[in-house]
Amino acid sequence: MDWSELRNAFPVTRRWAYLDHAAVSPLADPVRAAMVAWVDDASENGSANWSSWQGRVENVRKQAGRLLNCHPTDVAFVKNTTEGVAFVAEGLSWNAGDNVVTAADEYPSNLYPWMNLAGRGVEVRRVASRSGRILVDDLRAAMDERTRLVALSFVEYATGFRNDLGAIANLCSERGVLFFLDAIQGLGVFPLDVQQVPIDFLAADGHKWLLGPEGAGLFYVRPDRLERLHTLEVGWHSVVHDHDFSRIELNLKPHAGRWESGTLNVAGVVALGTGLELLLSAGIDVVSTRIVGLTDYLCERALSAGLQIFSSRRPGEASGIVSLSGIDDPAAAVRRCRAAGIIINNRAGRVRVSPHVYNTFDEINHLINELGASV
């Protein structure tokens, strides 16, 4: 596929070699245009076209259903990943002595909500990684008859390690344990079919690999798990007769829409849909091949420059995130790269690089030339 047309849609490329999509993605012109269109309409017409915008929101829900291979009503829109994690952590009925199994190095949003259950007697068991890899056998060893849930990331934010979702989901099913997935670092990069991989709950903000703006994300609930969660933040939009304001009946929607308690961030959701459309039009399999190709090349060039690759590059474990070690002062290296027009990041004392489909091999070469002086 010729990626130059998509690259031209990203104004950021005129100034930067932007290789930090694991943090925040820059907006493509169509995504920006979607937000501006809502702002212009709201300014010029107020709520006159409200129903039209709601229709566009529902189209985005269909796109999310395509992305996950689920029914659109299995997806609710959230303001960020953390909100989705909290819906599960606070929505399940816990008993003293229950435990949650997770990774020791998870992003804080997938740790603090579970740690916050300590007052209810819930233990968080943090499984250590082995050279940045999380082994399914280690997760199994941490589980017992009181394990209620496993909470992991699709891709670990600091190492780029891609978890074996199929193996973990099967393990949870065998043990009768729920599986929550923080999908923000993998969704949009790799295909995920929730019909094939029995994930119970999933949350992902759209501002990284999904090419959307901050403040709009996805929350998936497996239909047969719907009644396992107590619904938080119940409001006018949570109920079946949501537009009949004089009909006061607490009759929650029979799907994930019950977690959309009030008015949505319409501009953000519509813009997220535009980002989804860019990815779905290309094909997630094609996107995956492109991103892994870029990171494979990055690792090859980095090794030749004397850098060390911390991230696992084994088949099935490689991702769009590459963590580089062997750099004396990662923070200084990030600053030096920024001065040279390259945006990367520093996580866990290592340089983190995360290209997307519109990035180029020339940009990778530019990065390695700058980082080579850091060894």
- Average confidence (pLDDT) over 259-270: 97
Q: What is the C-alpha separation between 348 and 144, in angstroms, rounded?
A: 30
Convert the pLDDT of each residue in 55-92 to its tens digit. 999 999 999 999 999 999 999 999 999 999 999 999 99
Q: What is the C-alpha separation between 131 and 313, in angstroms, rounded?
A: 12
Question: Which region, left, alpha or beta, applies to residue 23 given φ > 0 means left and ψ of -120 to 50 means alpha?
Answer: alpha
Q: What is the CB neighbour count within 10 angstroms for residue 9?
A: 17
99 pLDDT exceeds 90? yes
Q: What is the C-alpha separation between 326 and 345, in angstroms, rounded?
A: 15
- Average confidence (pLDDT) over 180-190: 98
Q: Which CATH number does the domain 4-27+283-374 belong to among 3.40.50.1370, 3.90.1150.10, 3.40.50.620, 1.10.10.10?
A: 3.90.1150.10
Coarse DSSP helix, strand, coil percentages of the chain, rounded to the nearest 5 percent: 45, 15, 40
Convert the pLDDT of each residue in 303-322 to its tens digit. 999 999 999 999 999 999 99
The alpha carbon of 362 is separated from its chain's Cα centroid by a whole number of angstroms, namely 27
137 pLDDT exceeds 70? yes
Structure confidence at residue 373 as a pLDDT band (50, 70, 90): low
Convert the pLDDT of each residue in 187-211 to its tens digit. 999 999 999 999 999 999 999 999 9
What's the pLDDT score for residue 172?
98
- Contact 63/246 with Cβ under 8 angstroms? no
What's the pLDDT score for residue 319?
98
375 pLDDT exceeds 80? no
3 pLDDT exceeds 90? yes
Q: What is the C-alpha separation between 149 and 124, in angstroms, rounded?
A: 10
If we measure between CA atoms, which residue out of 24, 13, 28 comes closest to residue 271? 28
Mean pLDDT of all residues belonging to the chain = 97
Which class in CATH covers the domain with range 34-280? alpha beta
What's the pLDDT score for residue 374?
55
Domains of the chain by residue range: 4-27+283-374, 34-280
What's the pLDDT score for residue 317?
98
What's the pLDDT score for residue 1?
79
Q: What percentage of the chain exceeds 90 in pLDDT? A: 98
The label of the residue with tokens 């079919």 reads 193
Token pair belonging to 37:
């269109």
Token pair belonging to 200:
């119970």
If we measure between CA atoms, which residue out of 91, 22, 106, 62 comes closest to residue 218? 62
Its pTM stands at 0.96
Structure confidence at residue 119 as a pLDDT band (50, 70, 90): very high
234 pLDDT exceeds 80? yes
- Average confidence (pLDDT) over 145-165: 98
